Amino acid sequence: MSNDNPAFCAIYRWRLHPGTEQTFVEAWSRVTDLLLRERGSLGSRLHRGPDELWYSYTQWPSATARAEGLALPSVDAEAWDRMRACIAEGLPELILEPVADFLAPLRQGGEPGK
């Protein structure tokens, strides 16, 4: 494993109430952007799976950085509340151990970064 890999990665999974998908995406995007800009997160990606679950893959410099970043008052309590209201079922988080990383970061507009 390269030392460039983040020490904390996780996958979050949710089943949403029907018709709340756009609200969820907007609220998740707001919270994720603030965690990235204000709390030291390395970012996250949101995916919709073929199994009707929504998945978020997140990275932090360390488990400690994540715990500290999330222990502070909410970055946007209203967005968190909107996000939670969309969730019909939340499944346990999956903590991942980075082993190899060939994921290219995306630049604005969805183009691969260099």
The alpha carbon of residue 100 and the mean position of all alpha carbons in its chain are separated, in whole angstroms, by 20
Domains of the chain: 8-98 (3.30.70.100)
**Taken in order 87, 88, 90, 91, is the CA torsion positive or negative?**
negative
β partners of residue 15: 89
pTM of the model: 0.83
For the chain, the residue count is 114
| The pair of three-digit structure tokens given for residue 8, joined into one six-digit string | 């904390």
- Give per-residue pLDDT as tens, 94-110: 999 888 888 777 666 55
pLDDT tens-digit series, residues 2-16: 455 567 999 999 999
